[in-house]
């Protein structure tokens, strides 16, 4: 398999739930020879959905990574979940991708979760191409899907092919570069296809859309624009080169179409992935922070396999019953070999890479080394967590970490038997390393073990995994909302701490400033003191104590959010100072300064997107408003409407059942976390 970086593609498949992401990935693997039988999601036999629950529920939970080859190109594919509760999976995948394929339903067009993943892809500057799937469904409209994307996201769209017919009359596609008709053979599951000249009936349509394609590409390329205006002939090669540059610069989103379920349109999609999506060296260098003593310098990390300093990002952790903890790593610089020692920059610890594996969905292949631009699995890293940077101790560079949303829903969990108790805690630790949006803690007031996640489905899936995958018996309570605390004003406080322990005085002095931050910006700890006489471990002790205080809250015991703490003064005497004294002083100072800054309790507010047939829209909206929700906007779509609203999480329990009953089961909804706001009674 080629190791030439120009022949490598790291891509993700992203979309709304049920748009056909996994089905499309299955077809890509089948036609590129990675699997020899097409597995259907409906039958629970999809290669990418290898977790038992994914097969039972027909949804993708974990973003499986797989490598395949097509015409001399190596393609690393990451299949991401479409359900809103698994948004962290999507986010950490997009962070390490070079390009993405957005699968859009030809009937539903841009759906709420498509908007979420599109915005996330914009945030990480991921170039993308669109594949309009389900062209064989009744109501399919390729051109409406294209204009919906253009309208909603304000991007320039260009069709590279147009469909021949739609719905039950969908026959194939017209390739606008070659001006040929392509039809797939049903007899061999679409493996072979027939390319014919344009029929008279399709000539006008093909010419109209080819003209639009050339116009769109020429408008973003100065050289082609000049040729176009002067009426010169433009070759397909010139068009493809200009289109590739425009896609990588995120000026154009190309569109293809087909029906994955019926094996139509996949080969041109794989060609488009290799032709238009970037290779690892096409994208800008990764941004990192070089850490030296107390100074942090912004640096760029170019994709260079020959660089002396290896740098990689752990973007996913997965537990395997036989191999243990699997760390999915995207390499950005240099090379790491099996058996070598690496440095975890975030944890400041050395670790050894026992094995490096290439992942083929649920099947692993041994590798000797992995170089910049590639994705692989490391076995043997005991401390790594999602978002950690691994590299060398001589030049510690921290790649920008992935920021995950706060968990918003909690349930109490307890082991069925005493013997399950330790096993349950171990399992929860593994799951929280795998999924940063899943946390567990002991409730100080009730003594219960509480787990928190992004939604009811998220926690349901995780509890099922605890029981089925880890074989731990457990009982769960009713869902509870996870509240937050935040300060509403500024305050300053000076703490003088002194204790005599074992005949030795332990003393510390701290001056801290506290102030509220903008909603949604999270907590921030800073220290403005730079005194070379104060050892690093004292700075570390203050920082770790303050960060622990953020999690334990101020007044009600809920984690803090949107709060800034700045250490403005440190009183240090080497004869009496100790890390213990500074930890205790920090905790005391945090409590006092925050309590005097008028803390208040905040509750999570959710974005609620309801898709409903037109006749039930009124009933669906009234159900949201009855629960304290606010309708933000509404848009009409073929066969119904989409209502965008916001509502307090606490009032949304059981909404699924209510919505089904008032809409005769025909409406569906999705919820994503929006922000925390002052709690209303």
pLDDT higher than 90, residue 590: yes
Of 63-72, 257-266, 586-595, minimum mean pLDDT range: 63-72
Per-residue pLDDT tens digits for 179-199: 999 999 888 778 889 999 999
Please provide residue 85's backbone torsions phi and psi, each rounded to the nearest 5 degrees: -65, -20
Q: Is residue 404 part of a domain?
A: no
pLDDT higher than 60, residue 83: no
Task: Name the helix (H) or strand (E) containing 270.
Answer: helix 266-276
pLDDT higher than 90, residue 361: no
Tell me which residue range forms the domain holding 294.
286-399
472 pLDDT band, cuts 50/70/90, is very high
pLDDT higher than 90, residue 17: no
Return the pLDDT at 85: 61
For residues 301 and 334, membership in a common domain is answered with yes
Name the residue with higher pLDDT: 21 or 118.
118
For residues 528 and 669, membership in a common domain is answered with no
Return the pLDDT at 41: 42
Q: Is residue 166 part of a domain?
A: yes
For residues 220 and 341, membership in a common domain is answered with no
Q: Among 441, 485, 432, 483, which Cα is nearest to 462's?
A: 432
Name the residue with higher pLDDT: 574 or 513.
513
Return the pLDDT at 322: 72
For residues 55 and 197, membership in a common domain is answered with yes
Structure tokens at 287: 């941004």
Q: Is residue 476 part of a domain?
A: yes
Return the pLDDT at 408: 75
64 pLDDT band, cuts 50/70/90, is low
Per-residue pLDDT tens digits for 384-421: 887 889 998 888 888 866 566 677 788 899 999 888 88
Cα angle 410-415-416, degrees, rounded to a multiple of 5 = 125
Mean pLDDT of 520-548: 90
Average pLDDT, the chain: 86
Whole-number percent of the chain with pLDDT over 70: 90
Query: Can you give the length of the chain in residues?
Result: 681
The span from the CA of 354 to the CA of 408, in Å, is 37
pLDDT higher than 90, residue 78: no
Q: How many domains, in total, are found in the chain?
A: 5
The span from the CA of 70 to the CA of 9, in Å, is 11
For the chain, the C-alpha Rg in angstroms (whole number) is 27
Return the pLDDT at 402: 59
Structure tokens at 582: 């500074």
pLDDT higher than 50, residue 485: yes
Per-residue pLDDT tens digits for 275-310: 999 999 999 998 888 877 667 788 889 999 998 889
For residues 318 and 223, membership in a common domain is answered with no
49 pLDDT band, cuts 50/70/90, is very low
Return the pLDDT at 569: 94
Of 288-292, 367-371, 549-553, minimum mean pLDDT range: 288-292
For residues 537 and 636, membership in a common domain is answered with no
Q: Is residue 230 part of a domain?
A: yes
CA 64 from centroid of its chain's CA atoms:
13
Mean pLDDT of 204-228: 91
For residues 445 and 302, membership in a common domain is answered with no
For residues 144 and 268, membership in a common domain is answered with yes
486 pLDDT band, cuts 50/70/90, is very high
Task: Name the helix (H) or strand (E) containing 617.
Answer: helix 617-626
The span from the CA of 478 to the CA of 474, in Å, is 14
- Kindly provide the residue ranges of all beta strands, DSSP E only, lying in 529-581, ordered along the sequence: 563-571
Q: Is residue 281 part of a domain?
A: no
For residues 66 and 140, membership in a common domain is answered with yes
- 3-state SS assignment for residue 650: helix
Q: Supply the CATH number for residue 622's domain.
A: 3.30.70.240
Return the pLDDT at 273: 96
Residue finishing a domain among 372, 399, 426: 399
Residue finishing a domain among 249, 276, 303: 276
pLDDT higher than 90, residue 95: no
Whole-number percent of the chain with pLDDT over 90: 44
497 pLDDT band, cuts 50/70/90, is very high
Return the pLDDT at 625: 93
- Strands 193-197, 252-257: pairing is unpaired
Return the pLDDT at 589: 95
Hunting for tokens 């770790």 — which residue is that?
544
How far lies 194's CA from each of 78, 185, 417, in Å? 30, 7, 63
Q: Supply the CATH number for residue 271's domain.
A: 3.40.50.300
């Amino acid at each position: 398999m080629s190791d030439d970086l120009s022949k490598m593609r790291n891509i993700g498949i992203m979309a709304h739930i049920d748009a056909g992401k996994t089905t499309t990935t299955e077809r890509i693997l089948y036609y590129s020879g990675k699997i020899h039988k097409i597995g259907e999601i409906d039958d629970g036999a999809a290669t990418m959905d290898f977790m038992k629950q994914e097969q039972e529920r027909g949804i993708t939970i974990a973003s499986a990574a797989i490598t395949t080859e097509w015409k001399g190109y190596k393609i690393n594919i990451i299949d991401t979940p479409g359900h809103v509760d698994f948004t962290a999976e999507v986010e950490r995948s997009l962070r390490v991708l070079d390009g993405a394929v957005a699968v859009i339903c030809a009937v539903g067009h841009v759906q709420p979760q498509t908007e979420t993943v599109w915005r996330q892809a914009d945030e990480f500057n991921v170039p993308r191409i669109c594949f309009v799937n389900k062209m064989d469904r009744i109501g399919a409209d390729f051109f409406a899907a294209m204009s919906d994307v253009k309208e909603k996201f304000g991007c320039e769209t260009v069709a590279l092919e147009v469909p021949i017919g739609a719905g039950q009359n969908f026959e194939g596609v017209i390739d606008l570069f070659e001006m040929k008709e392509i039809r797939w053979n049903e007899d061999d599951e679409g493996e072979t296809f027939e390319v014919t000249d344009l029929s008279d009936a399709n000539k006008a349509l093909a010419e109209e859309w080819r003209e639009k394609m050339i116009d769109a590409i020429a408008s973003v390329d100065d050289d082609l624009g000049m040729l176009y205006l002067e009426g010169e002939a433009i070759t397909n090669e010139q068009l493809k080169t200009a289109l590739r540059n425009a896609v990588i610069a995120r000026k154009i989103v190309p569109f293809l179409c087909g029906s994955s379920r019926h094996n139509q349109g996949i080969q041109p999609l794989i060609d488009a992935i290799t032709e238009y999506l970037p290779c690892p060296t096409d994208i800008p260098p990764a941004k990192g922070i070089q850490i030296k003593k107390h100074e942090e310098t912004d640096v760029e990390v170019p994709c260079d396999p020959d660089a002396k300093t290896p740098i990689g990002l752990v973007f996913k952790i997965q537990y395997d019953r036989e191999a243990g903890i699997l760390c999915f790593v995207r390499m950005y610089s240099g090379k790491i070999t099996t058996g070598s020692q690496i440095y975890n920059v975030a944890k400041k610890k050395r670790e050894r890479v026992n094995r490096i594996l290439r992942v083929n969905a649920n099947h692993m292949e041994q590798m000797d080394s992995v170089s910049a631009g590639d994705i692989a699995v490391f076995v043997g890293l005991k401390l790594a967590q999602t978002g950690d940077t691994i590299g060398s101790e001589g030049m510690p560079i921290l790649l920008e970490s992935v920021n995950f949303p706060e968990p918003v829903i909690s349930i109490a969990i307890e082991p069925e038997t005493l013997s399950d108790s330790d096993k349950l805690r171990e399992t929860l630790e593994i799951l929280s390393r795998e999924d940063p949006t899943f946390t567990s803690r002991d409730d100080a007031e009730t003594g219960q073990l509480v787990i928190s996640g992004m939604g009811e489905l998220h926690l349901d899936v995780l509890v099922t995994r605890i029981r089925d995958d880890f074989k731990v018996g457990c009982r769960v309570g009713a869902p509870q909302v996870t509240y937050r605390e935040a300060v509403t004003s500024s305050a300053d406080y000076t703490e003088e701490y002194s204790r005599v322990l074992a005949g030795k005085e332990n003393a510390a002095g701290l001056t801290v400033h506290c102030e509220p931050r903008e909603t949604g910006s999270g907590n921030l700890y800073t220290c403005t003191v730079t005194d070379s006489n104060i050892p690093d471990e004292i700075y570390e002790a203050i920082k770790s104590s303050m960060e622990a205080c953020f999690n334990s809250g101020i007044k009600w015991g809920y984690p803090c959010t949107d709060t800034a703490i700045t250490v403005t003064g440190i009183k240090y005497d080497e004869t009496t100072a100790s890390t213990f004294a500074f930890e205790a002083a920090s905790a005391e100072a945090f409590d006092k300064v925050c309590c005097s800054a008028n803390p208040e309790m905040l509750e999570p507010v959710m974005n609620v997107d309801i898709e409903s047939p037109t006749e039930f829209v009124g009933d669906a909206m009234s159900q949201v408003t009855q629960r304290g929700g606010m309708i933000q906007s509404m848009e009409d779509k073929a066969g119904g409407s989409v209502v965008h609203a916001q509502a307090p999480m606490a009032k949304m329990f059981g909404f699924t059942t209510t919505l089904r009953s008032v809409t005769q089961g025909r409406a569906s909804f999705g919820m994503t976390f929006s922000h925390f706001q002052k709690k209303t009674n």
